[in-house]
Amino acid sequence: MFGKKNEDEAVSNSGKGPEWKLLEKVISDSFVEQRRARRWGIFFKLLTFAYIFAFIFLFSNQSGDSMGLKTPKHEYTGLVSLKGVIADGEEANANAIATGLRKAFEHEKTTAVILAINSPGGSPVQSNYVYDEINRLREKYPEKKLYAVIGDLGASGAYYIASAADEIYASESSLVGSIGVTAAGFGFVDALDKLGVERRNFTSGEHKSFLDPFQPVNPSEAEFWKGVLNVTHQQFIKRVKDGRGDRLANDNEQLFSGLIWSGEQALDLGLIDGMGSPGQVAREVIGVEDILDFTVKPNPFEAFTGRLGSSIGSGIASYFHSQASMAGAESLR
């Protein structure tokens, strides 16, 4: 019996040997290291969130100031920028531009409004929305004039919008005009045969897939599509004539051909009224040098989150969905 007890004590004491103590120390140090890493992880997460919220807060304050939320003490020239391609979903979309214009016209301290343009054009629908909104605002606020000022480029749909202004200004080297409509695409008729791929396209309606880039061009369908584009072109021409009136050099046969002109040529053609930058127009034409920016800025939270997540998936889906239709998409360019 005493022999059995001694054996148990020996086993128990062997468990307290150097190896066991070393194992205990390793485990203890591991737990300490994990706690330390967890604390630093929490710290860096909090720091990241603080940085994000500080960025959003500062950006929101900046946007609020530019939207006229801080009432100025004296008269200002309102400014709305139109930059980039005019299209739904882009920064230069009709809703954003029209909202900025409304804010500028409604503000009690704005004497006049400048629409600063640097755009190649884009959607005829979006351009028409802005054109109509400008006419509505000019009628509602007859005492406030709208001046379109073209920078590097004011072409096609951008000029469509500019023609609704009271006056248009540009630089001598600006590119102005391009009064026309285009619908460009590519044809891949022989590509599938060379790749050994059979395409299967099921439609209901004789001409449902007439814009399909994988089938040969049908002459009658091509003529039809040109007719559709011509209707939009005539609408474009009418809008420009309504806006510019007798200032246009209507004796020039190339005026509505889709050609683009320098600012100097555009002045001779009656497409613009003079030369000047937004600052010059505010100072020398309007007579109110101080400018208050009413341009609608993209939402910073949406830009940070939505575009990193859902927009990626929707962008991929829309890309494949739109390949055939984009081959014939109508654009004022």
> What is the separation of C-alpha 146 from the centre of its chain, rounded to a whole number of angstroms?
23
d(CA 178, CA 193): 38
Distance separating alpha carbons of residues 98 and 133, to the nearest angstrom: 6
Whether the Cβ atoms of residue 142 and residue 126 lie closer than 8 Å to each other: no
Distance between CA 62 and CA 50 in Å, rounded? 18
User: Which of these, 186, 162, 188, lies nearest to 175 by C-alpha position?
Assistant: 162
- Catalytic residue ranges: 156, 208
Under the phi-then-psi rule, with left for phi > 0, alpha for psi from -120 to 50, and beta for the rest, what region is 128?
Answer: alpha
- Give the residues across from 113 on adjacent strands: 78, 146
Q: Residue 69 phi/psi, 5° resolution?
A: -75, -25
Number of other CB atoms surrounding residue 295 within 10 Å = 23
The upper half-sphere exposure of residue 75, i.e. CA atoms within 13 Å in the direction of its Cβ, equals 11
**The token pair that represents 143 in the structure block:** 């005492």
Cβ count within 10 A of residue 270: 17
Bridge partner residues of 274 (DSSP): 169
What is the rounded distance in angstroms from the CA atom of residue 62 to the CA atom of residue 232?
A: 39
Of 127, 56, 120, the closest CA to residue 95 belongs to 127
What 3-state DSSP class applies to 71?
coil
Pair 119, 155: CB distance under 8 Å: yes
